[in-house]
Amino acid sequence: MAENEKLECLKKLQDVLQEKFALEQQVETLPKELRREEAMLRTVEKEFADLQKLASDTVDEVKSLSIRYEDAFQVRTGYEKQMEFLNTQREYEALSKQLEEARANEETLLKQRNSKTKESEKLKNQVIAKEEEVANQKAKVDEEQAKVDTELSGINEKIAELDRACLEIKGNAISDELYEKFSNIVRKKNGLGVVPVHGQVCMGCDRVLPVQFVIDLRLKQENNEIDYCPYCSRIIWYDQLDPETEKNYIFEQLESKGTGSESKVSSASSGSQQDSDSYDESMGMDDGFDDF
């Protein structure tokens, strides 16, 4: 069979495109760690702001309790002075009761003030610690950002290199239109845009092609033309096998094994990939090629 220049170009292109798309995938996933660190920074900053608010509220509460304690202190000492100038037993009993209450009130406020002061000190330390945490997290984000920038520029350089390699391979053998179309197929079909036909079976989707279709395909191939699998839309080429092996891939043989022309022939296609049909459907590709 004569060499089909287009096909040979496409096979070479496929290798380069596979590499390029793998790199593009990396560009997509690379900033994941950075996004994670950025989200963490937002969380820590929020915690810092909440803590600052709580610390400031607590300082206000300490101030308020201090004033109330001072007042209670004045009330109690006032009663104690009055005790010195009492005349009757009745007055003494009444004032004693007031004094007792004033002492209890003063004591309670003192306890509350002291406890709130301790809490306030603790919060101040927590604020300092959280501020440090924010600074550390910021540094992490900056570091990750720098790392991503460096890696991205490296990957983008490689992608540009592969683009140039593609254009070089493409040359005049392949039209811009076919190049675009083929790139899309390779991208959507997980790296496999040009696949062999064994006997009557497309090695991309494992489906059996009509006899006449394969005869036409072989003719086109001789004339430096290409064709597409009507089932999976990949570019296909007839791959001449030795007659014994090829027998396993022709319709009569497949049918005698109980498989129709529309069904999969996994028994005959040990060399092809897993479950291409369900994969194609999941990509929504089988009937989506009209716009090419």
Rule CB under 5 A: which residues touch Zn ion? 202, 204-205, 229, 231-232
**Least distance in Å: CB of 255 to Zn ion?**
19
Q: Minimal distance in Å, beta carbon 210 to Zn ion?
A: 13
DSSP single-letter state for residue 272: S
To the nearest whole angstrom, how small is the minimum distance from the Cβ of residue 230 to Zn ion? Answer: 8
Least separation in angstroms between residue 237's CB and Zn ion is 12
Q: How far is the CB of 216 from Zn ion (least distance, A)?
A: 15
- Cβ nearer to Zn ion, comparing 232 with 265: 232
Please state the closest distance from residue 201 (CB atom) to Zn ion, in A.
9
Among residues 133 and 239, whose Cβ is nearest to Zn ion? 239
Place of tokens 């989506």: 288
For Zn ion, which is the closer residue by CB, 68 or 220? 220
Tokens of 124: 């101040």
Q: For Zn ion, give the closer residue by CB, 76 or 207.
A: 207
Cβ proximity to Zn ion: between 34 and 232 the closer is 232
Beta carbons of 168 and 12 less than 8 angstroms apart: no
Q: How far is CA 273 from CA 5, 126, 181, 190, in A?
A: 26, 58, 22, 11
Q: Where are the alpha helices (DSSP H) in the chain?
A: 5-29, 32-83, 89-170, 176-188, 211-222, 243-246, 251-256, 276-283
Nearer to Zn ion, 44 or 236 (CB): 236
Measured in degrees and rounded to the nearest 5, phi and psi for residue 258 equal 95, 20
**Whole-angstrom Cα distance, residue 232 to residue 286?**
5
Complex with Zn ion: residue 13 or 229, whichever CB lies closer: 229
Within 8 A by CB and 6+ apart from 59, the residues are 120
What does the DSSP assignment read for 43-96?
HHHHHHHHHHHHHHHHHHHHHHHHHHHHHHHHHHHHHHHHHTT--SHHHHHHHH
- Nearer residue to Zn ion within complex by CB, 117 or 273: 273
Residue pointed to by tokens 């009663």: 79
Q: Does residue 249 sit in helix, strand or coil?
A: helix
Q: How far is the CB of 257 from Zn ion (least distance, A)?
A: 19
Please report how close the Cβ of residue 265 comes to Zn ion at its closest, in angstroms. 12
| 137 within 8 A of 44, measured Cβ to Cβ | yes
Name the nearest CA neighbour of 208 among 226, 186, 190, 232: 232
